[in-house]
């Protein structure tokens, strides 16, 4: 039990599909994050939410749509993705600007 749970762990989707990634944190934190981890590249911050309000959108394409209904849940809605979007998507949470706690990630493959 890491405190941050991501589902599904693995996802294969076609370029015309619509799918969603889910993240739930049980730590009482106020901030939640989506990161993208591609091979041979540093982790890329995608979105940040603080108390359900989006505070950071790091120039992410609109085919990625985040949703944060409350401080414990974060979703990433996916549609019309490209093969280069295949990556490990990591969710994290933190209490203010303290250390981030990560989930185990969703391995996404776009075919």
The minimum distance between CB 58 and another protein, in angstroms, equals 8
Write the DSSP assignment of 46-81 as a string of letters: EEEEETTEEEEE-S--TTEEEEEEETTEEEEEEES-
Contact call for residue 94 and another protein (CB under 8 A): yes
Complex with another protein: residue 2 or 70, whichever CB lies closer: 2
108/63 Cα distance (integer angstroms): 14
Minimum CB–partner distance for residue 75 and another protein (Å)? 17
Closer by beta carbon to another protein, 75 or else 102: 102
Tokens of 42: 């540093």
Minimum gap (Å) between residue 49 Cβ and another protein: 9
């Amino acid at each position: 039990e890491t405190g941050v749970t991501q589902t599904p762990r693995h996802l294969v989707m076609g370029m015309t599909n619509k799918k969603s990634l889910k993240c739930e944190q049980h730590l009482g934190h106020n901030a939640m994050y989506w990161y993208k981890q591609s091979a041979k590249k540093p982790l890329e911050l995608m979105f940040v939410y603080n108390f359900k309000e989006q505070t950071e959108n790091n120039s992410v394409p609109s085919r990625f749509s985040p949703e944060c209904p409350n401080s414990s849940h974060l979703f990433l809605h996916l549609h019309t993705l490209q093969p280069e979007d295949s990556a490990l998507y990591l969710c994290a949470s933190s209490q203010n600007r303290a250390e981030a706690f990560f989930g185990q990630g969703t391995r996404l493959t776009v075919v």
